[in-house]
C-alpha cells in the first residue's frame, strides 16, 4: 500500500481510538457517579432516602445497585427515563410517589434476588409475598422508624 507507516490515517486511527477510550472511560465514570448516593442526594427531596441508605446495612452499595437493572442494555434506557422523570418531577415540585411505581418495585426486587439468591435457594421465599421487602421491611429505607431519624424540614 502506498501509505507510509506514520501516515495521517494511522494517526487518525490512533487518535480516534484514544479519544474513544477516553470517551468510554468518561462515560463509564459518569455512569458510576450517577449511580451513587452523593449524586442522587444532590436533590434535597432525596434526603430521606439517602440518609436512611447511609445509616442502613446497604450503605456501601450504590443506590442503583437496587434501583436500576444490572444488565447494561436494560440499565441505560432505564436510567435515562427515570432521570428525566425525576428532573421534571423535581422542577414541578412533585413529591416522591408512595408507594413507588410497580416498575421500580420489580427492579428492586429482582436486585434483591440477584445478590441474595444463594440464601434463598432452598426455600420458596417468593411464593407467599410478592416482594422481599414485605418481610424485610426496614430495608425499604427504614420507613417504620420515627420521622426525626429520617428527615428534617428544608430551609
Partner 1 sequence: MTNRIFSFAFCVAALSTVLLAAGCQDVSTELAPPTYKTGIPDTELRFTPFKKEFPREYASYMKNNEDTVMTEYKGSVPFHKNDGVNPLPKGFKHAQPYLKNLWLGYPFMYEYNETRGHTHAIDDFLHIDRINRFSSDGKGNMPATCWNCKTPRMMEWIREYGDDFWAKDVNEFRGKDKINAMEESISCATCHDPATMELRLYSEPLRDWLKRSGQDWKTIPRNTKRTLVCAQCHVEYYFAHKDNAPDKKPIFPWDKGFGPEEIYQYYKEHGPKGADGKSGPFTDWVHAASKVNMIKMQHPDFETFQDGPHGAAGVACADCHMQYVRDDGKKVSSHWLTSPLKDPEMRACRQCHADKTPEFLRERVLYTQKRTYQQLLAAQEMSVKAHEAVRLANAHTGDRAPNYDALMEEARDMVRKGQIFWDYVSAENSFGFHNPAKSLHTLGKSAEFSQRAVDLATQATMFAIAPALARDIKETVPPILELSRAKQQDARFLEQHPWTKLLPVLPPNKQTWDGQAFTPPSAPSM
Residues of the shown chain interacting with partner 1 in the complex, contacts defined by CB under 8 A? 19, 22-23, 26, 29-30, 33-34, 36-42, 44-45, 47, 50-51, 54-55, 93, 95, 98-99, 134, 140, 143-155
Distance CA 142, CA 136 (A): 10
Q: In the bound complex, what is the minimum distance in angstroms from residue 81's beta carbon to partner 1?
A: 19
Q: Which is nearer to partner 1, 56 or 110 (CB)?
A: 56
User: Least CB distance from residue 20 to partner 1, whole Å?
Assistant: 12
Please report where in the chains the cell 439517602 appears, as a residue: 50
25 vs 71 by CB, closer to partner 1: 25
Task: Identify the three-state secondary structure at position 152.
Answer: coil
| Closer of 71 and 145 to partner 1 (Cβ) | 145
With cell 431519624, the residue in question is 149
CB 121 → partner 1: shortest distance, Å? 26
Any idea what DSSP says for residue 127? T
Shorter beta-carbon distance to partner 1: residue 71 or 135: 135
In degrees to the nearest 10, what's the CA dihedral of 32, 111, 130, 137?
Answer: -70
Rank residues 17 and 71 by Cβ distance to partner 1 and give the closer one. 17
CB-CB contact of 143 with 137 (8 Å): yes
Residue 38 Cβ vs partner 1, minimum distance, rounded to whole Å: 5
Rounded distance, CA 74 to CA 29, Å? Answer: 18
Cα-to-chain-centroid distance, residue 16: 31
Minimum CB–partner distance for residue 153 and partner 1 (Å): 5
Amino acid at each position: 500500500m502506498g501509505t507510509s507507516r506514520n501516515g495521517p490515517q494511522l494517526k487518525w486511527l490512533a487518535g480516534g481510538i484514544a479519544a474513544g477510550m477516553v470517551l468510554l472511560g468518561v462515560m463509564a465514570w459518569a455512569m458510576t457517579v450517577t449511580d451513587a448516593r452523593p449524586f442522587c442526594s444532590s436533590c434535597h427531596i432525596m434526603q430521606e432516602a439517602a440518609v436512611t441508605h447511609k445509616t442502613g446495612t446497604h450503605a456501601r452499595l450504590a443506590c442503583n445497585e437496587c434501583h436500576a437493572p444490572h444488565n447494561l442494555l436494560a440499565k441505560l434506557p432505564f436510567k435515562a427515563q427515570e432521570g428525566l422523570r425525576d428532573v421534571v418531577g423535581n422542577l414541578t415540585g412533585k413529591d416522591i410517589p408512595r408507594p413507588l411505581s410497580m416498575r421500580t418495585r420489580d427492579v428492586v426486587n429482582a436486585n434483591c434476588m440477584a445478590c441474595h439468591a444463594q440464601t434463598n435457594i432452598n426455600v420458596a421465599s417468593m411464593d407467599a409475598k410478592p416482594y422481599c421487602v414485605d418481610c424485610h421491611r426496614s430495608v425499604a429505607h427504614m420507613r417504620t422508624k420515627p420521622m426525626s431519624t429520617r428527615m428534617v424540614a428544608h430551609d
